[in-house]
A and B are shown apart, each in its own frame.
Chain A
Amino acid sequence: MSFNSFSEFLAMGGHGLYVWLSYGLGVGVIAANLILPRLSRNRLLAEQKRRLRREENA
């Protein structure tokens, strides 16, 4: 382990802001790219099912 305590870990030797900002952004970008397509997919499927039902009932 490179750190002796949790508070040391958070502080990152004074560079805490930079490291945590970067990692936060990294997690955010990756999560967005994994979750947003999933949400799009659900929306797409719902829309298309509704369209199908509409066309069958018409």
Chain B
Amino acid sequence: MSTGTNPGNARRGSALALFSATVRREFLLSFRRKSDLANPLIFFVMVATLFPLGVSPEPDFLAQLAPGVIWVAALLATLLSMDALFRSDYEDGSLEQLLLSPQPLFVLVLAKVAAHWCMTGLALTLMAPLLALMLFLPADGMAGLLLSLLLGTPTLSLVGAIGAALTVGLKKGGVLISLLVLPLYIPVLIFGTGAVQAAVTGLPLAGYLALLGALLALALVLAPVAIAAALRISISS
């Protein structure tokens, strides 16, 4: 194993080196199974398809629903991908190694979530215009949609990772993560859809984006602490 891909060998005292080494490792590992990367994105589109099929395909009706539906679909797609965040590392024992290493767990965890977000949340955000088209979101809403997703999905990844860390030791952790994490997602959902709806009706976005930014800042600081603690607890059993 080359030292380049092992985060444990990163130069001591260099948090940035540790961060980038971890991110690089995550990307390498995930791109070995490209099909798995596509799953959340496919799910995202499929969920959005359910609404016209299940309710009504009328443009006016869908346009009203669009902000909420796209956000809920992004939320669910993120949630679904959360279980995989720590699971493969847990199963082959490398998670334990990461916890035992002298490297600061905060940085390691943040790096893992950041890499995960790039492959899910960011990807979903880039796909969102497609859904906006399918659901007849007014063009004015696009900026609000993209900005709110950009600011909101990292928070979703961070909070979802707490759920993943708490359940990583369990065999059927998947559905439980959703149960634990969904109530915590609600503020992000409310402000995210609020931003899109404000954009659609021509109202200023800044307040919503500021709130989403504040939630992200809080999550960036607190979530890795909770994730690290949860990982230690899950591994200890």
A–B contact via C-beta, under 8 angstroms: no
Query: What residues of chain B have their CB less than 8 Å away from a CB belonging to chain A?
Result: none
* Interface set of A (CB-CB < 8 Å, partner B): none
